Structure 1
Amino acid sequence: MALITWSETLTVNIKEIDEQHKKLIAMVNELHSAMGSGKGKDVMGKTLGGLIDYTKTHFAFEEQLMNKYAYPGYISHKADHDALTKQVAELYTKFQVGKTLVTVEVMNFLKDWLTKHIQATDKKYSSYLNGKGII
């Protein structure tokens, strides 16, 4: 069973970003599935590493749009991105050296952060960008 299911409550009405969010959700679900089926550390590490890399790419895309169109909440939004990137990088480092595992708590953190970030923070910039003709 998927940890996160895509629904209209997660859409930001910007096609490219919605597609990226769907991919992020699929990657979180893939990590959750790997954890639930007891996949080895190598598989878990590769999946987590891929999720981190794609998240950075996604954040850069969002930030470029916000910056290009002078979104007034850019600085605080980028700070949210930077904080998550730092947290997940620390988690990944601990995972790689065997100091932590991908647990239900980690999965719930990722799920909660992603869904809340999309539904609250991303919807703010999406309304602004939609008003600038970005869909």
Structure 2
Amino acid sequence: MSEQVEYFEDIEVGDELEELEICPTTEDVKRFVVVARMDNLRFTDDAYAKGEGLSGAIIPGNMSLGFLSRMVAEFFPLGTVVNLTANFRATVPHNTPLICGGVVTEKQEQDGDNVVFCDLQLTNEDGDRYVQGTAQVALPKRD
């Protein structure tokens, strides 16, 4: 599959989205929580997170969702994300290589829009799934 899909006709059920590989560092998380105004130390302080029963500081869920959103937006540059869902299956550690991936599960016309449905996932290099979700993207048709 190409790195980007612009038109509804250019994607088929079963096509995989171009993966996004990312390795968010502790510094990345610290910058994110400042901008997002999230002051919970479980995101930035290992000792505090361990005191809550976690293995260490974790990446905020909405930061993980942002990675999936970025992958979808980059893959469908002319598309409009009309729905994005996530199911958080496990905490995401800092400084871990992550892979955002997805597959097209359905295409349909809805109320005049051409919508592509995708299953999404955020995993580590071993395939352990941290987040799974779905996206619905409206794409233009060729004239």
TM value normalised by structure 2: 0.26
**The structure with more radius of gyration:** 2
**Higher strand residue share:** 2
The structure where helix makes up a greater share of residues is: 1
Greater relative CO (CA pairs within 8 A, separation 6+): 1
TM-score of the pair, normalised by structure 1: 0.27
